[in-house]
Amino acid sequence: MTFLTEILTPERTVCHAPCVSKKRLFETVARIFSEDHPALHYDEVFALLIAREKLGSTGLGHGIAIPHCRVDACPQPAGALITLEQAIDFDAPDDQPVDLIFALLVPGEAHQQHLDILANVARLFSQGSFCQQLRAAGDDRALYDVALG
């Protein structure tokens, strides 16, 4: 979980977000990143997340999704951790709705770093007890604290 300290902040940790669809989730993610990073523009982040998702679902299964994209204006890798009030359809491989999201933005040229971070996040979120603790968090701060262990 050490790598999360480098890419996740309390400002980008949202517990029980009221998203009703994948589109609304991506709007929420774009807002979180654009409000936290002045160089990141809402419209660009939203469009890039949608474009990436059209290539194939970023849903992993077991209620987890890791939407991600490369953004030229992104100065360094950045993550956002979100739990949802209600699970949403995400075209996941197991057809289960998603309620636990880790969104990732990386600089445009960070190809290998992008893959390395994705692998680390996927490995972390494959741990059932970790995901259970995240889902049990009652507020943003508790969610952030659980994530950083």
The domains of the chain are located at 4-148
**What pLDDT is stored for residue 76 in this prediction?**
93
Those residues with Cβ within 8 angstroms of residue 118's Cβ, 6 or more apart along the chain or in another chain: 66, 68, 104
**pLDDT tens string 41-99:** 999 999 999 999 999 999 999 999 999 999 999 999 999 999 999 999 999 999 999 99
Catalytic residue of the set 16, 37, 62, 68 = 68
2 confidence band (pLDDT: 50, 70, 90): low
Give the class (CATH, top level) of 4-148.
Answer: alpha beta
How much is the pLDDT for 111? 84
Q: Is residue 149's pLDDT more than 90?
A: no
Residue 1: pLDDT band (50, 70, 90) is low
pLDDT band at residue 32, thresholds of 50, 70 and 90?
very high
Catalytic residue flag (residue 114): no
pLDDT tens readout for residues 118-140: 999 999 999 999 999 999 999 99
| pLDDT tens per residue across span 17-28 | 999 999 999 999
Residues whose CB falls within 8 Å of the CB of residue 80, separated by 6 or more in sequence, listed in order: 8, 12, 13, 14, 29, 32, 33, 101, 102, 103, 104
Rounded to two decimals, what is the model's pTM?
A: 0.96
pLDDT (mean) for 95-111: 95
